Structure 1
Amino acid sequence: MTTDYGAIHDLIREVPKGEAASYGMIASLLPGVGPRQVARAMRSAPKDLKWYRIVTASGAPADHSGAEEQRRRLKKEGVSFKKNGAVDWAQCRWKGPTQKWIEKTGMDIEEVMEVIAGWKR
C-alpha cells in the first residue's frame, strides 16, 4: 500500500530558507498526521523538497546517515545552532505557513494561530 504524502510535502515547502521546523510542528497542522508519519513522508520526498529543514523536536537532526549533510545545509542557509548541536529555536524557528497555504487548505486562520502558539518556545 502506498500513502499519498502530498499534503505533508506541501507543508514542508512552506518552511523558508533560514528557518527550521520539527516533525511535530508539521504534523500539528495536518489533521490525523503524527510526527512519525511526517518522518516516513520524508523518505519518499521529491528531489526538490528541502527535507533538511525538518529536524527533531529537540532541534537536532534526526539520527540518520544524512545528519551531517543536513546540518551543513542548514548552516549554509543561515540557521544557527546552539553549543549542544541543536537548532537555536529562538533564532530560527519556523513562524508557520503562509496565508496562501492556509486559504488553499481551507483551514481557519484562528485555529492555525492557536496551533502555532502551542509550539514550544
Structure 2
Amino acid sequence: MTVDYDAIHTLIREVPKGEVASYGMIASLIPGAGPRQTATALRSAPEGLPWFRIVTASGHMADHSGAEKQRRLLKSEDVAFKKNGAVDWFAHRWRGPSKGWVEQSGLDIETVMETIAGWGR
C-alpha cells in the first residue's frame, strides 16, 4: 500500500498554533502510514505547511538540521518546554482533527475517537 503524502500534509494542517503532534499521532490517522512515512512526507512539505508542529513521541525535536529553527518557531507560538528540552505534552498536545477533516477522510468518528484516546498512553 502506498502512503498518500498529500493526506499527511492535509492532516498536519489541522494541528493549530500552539499545539504539537507526534509523527506517530499523525500516522495513526492515515491508513497504511507509520511515523517514518510522516517524516518522509515532511521532507517534501509544501510551502506554508506547519512542519515544525510535528515532534517525536518523547516531545523532542527530531535530529535534523532544522531542529533549532523548529524550537524557535514553537516558542514563537508560546509552546512551553520542560527542563529536559521536550515539549510540555500536557499543555500543548494536539486534541485531534476537525469534524470536517474526519468527514473528508472517510474514517468513522468512533474509530478516530478511539485512536485519539490512545494518544495519551
What range describes the TM-score normalised by the shorter chain of this pair? over 0.9
**Cα distance in structure 1, aligned partners of 2:101 and 2:4:** 18
> How many residue pairs end up in the alignment?
120
Matched, 1:114 2:114: yes
Distance 1:75 1:26, change over 3 A: same
Report the equivalent of 1:19.
Answer: 19
Report the equivalent of 2:50.
Answer: 50
**Cα distance in structure 2, aligned partners of 1:53 and 1:29:** 16
Distance 1:28 1:4, change over 3 A: closer
| TM-score of the pair, normalised by structure 2 | 0.95
- How far has the Cα of 1:40 moved from its partner? 0.4
Report the equivalent of 2:86.
Answer: 86
Report the equivalent of 2:59.
Answer: 59
**Cα distance in structure 2, aligned partners of 1:28 and 1:81:** 24
**Cα distance in structure 2, aligned partners of 1:5 and 1:33:** 9
- How far has the Cα of 1:78 moved from its partner? 1.2
Matched, 1:104 2:104: yes
Q: Deviations over 1:23-82 (max 9, x none)?
A: 000000111000000000000000110000000000001001110000000010011111
Return the letter of the residue paired with 2:57. A
**Cα distance in structure 2, aligned partners of 1:95 and 1:23:** 14
Matched, 1:37 2:37: yes
- How far has the Cα of 1:120 moved from its partner? 2.6
Partner-residue secondary structure (3-state), 1:84: coil
Moved over 2 A (4+): none
Tell me how large the CA RMSD over aligned residues is: 1.3
Report the equivalent of 1:8.
Answer: 8
| Percent of aligned positions that are identical | 71
Report the equivalent of 1:72.
Answer: 72
Unaligned runs of 5+ in 1: none
**Cα distance in structure 1, aligned partners of 2:4 and 2:81:** 33
